[in-house]
Amino acid sequence: MVVMQFAVCTTSYNSGDILEAHLRSIYTQFSPRQFEYVVVDNCSEDATASTYERWGKEYGNITLVRKKCWRGKGRQLAFQASNAETVVQVDCDMVFNTQWGDAIRWFLKTKPDFALVLRGCAIYPKHLIEEIGGWRNLQQGEDLDVYFKLLKRGKVKFCPLIVTSGGKSFWRTKSKSHLKNYIRLWRDAHDAFLLGRLKFWETLRQIEYSKTLAFFGMFTACSVATFRRLYWDVIDIRKIDDEEVRRNHMCMDIKGEYGDYCFPGLEFNQSVPPKKVLNALLEKVKSH
């Protein structure tokens, strides 16, 4: 078995309209002999799977797993199906700029013993993911859970280098089934409450459509999340020390565009998430 230099691991669901641009942004920066691409597709209803199959036949380095599951489990399955010692976590609805490739080359050259979180992806030594047990089965915030478990061990650095040049929000992903959309939305809210990203009344006040429908959906999600927190050891991001996060920021010797932080918003000790995240959730609620 030939072990590639790194593995790109992702999950997908109805991303067919942007997938070609996503793949081109990766394959124009690296030869398919350098990396393996592993994706767990959540039984997409559009051209996502056929696009991956076509690219896999052409380049020979794509592993496609089709399984109905939440995003956290999908990330874990993709990781387990990879063989490289360096793992690059991406979202398949994002298009990457040349700084993304520069960051990966920097990581492969320096071989740091920490994970590197960028504005748009994260790069991990494989052994660190194995040590923390990988991704939990969350639909939302599964990446934050991993970041902060590594932060507890002093094994993560946050770099504000912006490595994406476009894409669409995962929040807008829809199914043809209204029931599936509602279940996914309920799970998003459940995980947001589980990780301490939402405050019930603060969120409800900002919802502009049916308060009754929103109340029952959010109330059940919040109640189940509160119960699960009793026996599931998840990261409550309200308890994360902002200063500890900032102390673990770093910049690399890469020319490019940098943001203020590694990803939008660092107000983790507040019960209401960053405005951008909250607005995205409310936009998705109203779109259904």
Element containing residue 63 per DSSP (H, E): strand 62-66
Taking the domains of the chain in order of start, what are their residue ranges?
6-167, 171-233+266-287
CATH code given to domain 6-167: 3.90.550.10
How many whole angstroms separate alpha carbon 125 and alpha carbon 187?
30
pTM for this structure? Answer: 0.88
pLDDT, one tens digit for every residue, the chain (288 residues) = 667 899 999 999 999 999 999 999 999 999 999 999 999 999 999 999 999 999 999 999 999 999 999 999 999 999 999 999 999 999 999 999 999 999 999 999 999 999 999 999 999 999 999 999 999 999 888 999 999 999 999 999 999 999 998 776 544 456 777 788 788 888 888 998 998 888 888 887 777 667 777 788 889 999 999 999 888 878 888 888 888 888 999 988 898 899 877 765 554 445 445 455 455 555 555 554
3-state SS class at 57: helix
Joined together, the tokens standing for residue 60 give 């020979």
Give which of 133, 87, 110 is closest to 233, Cα–Cα: 133
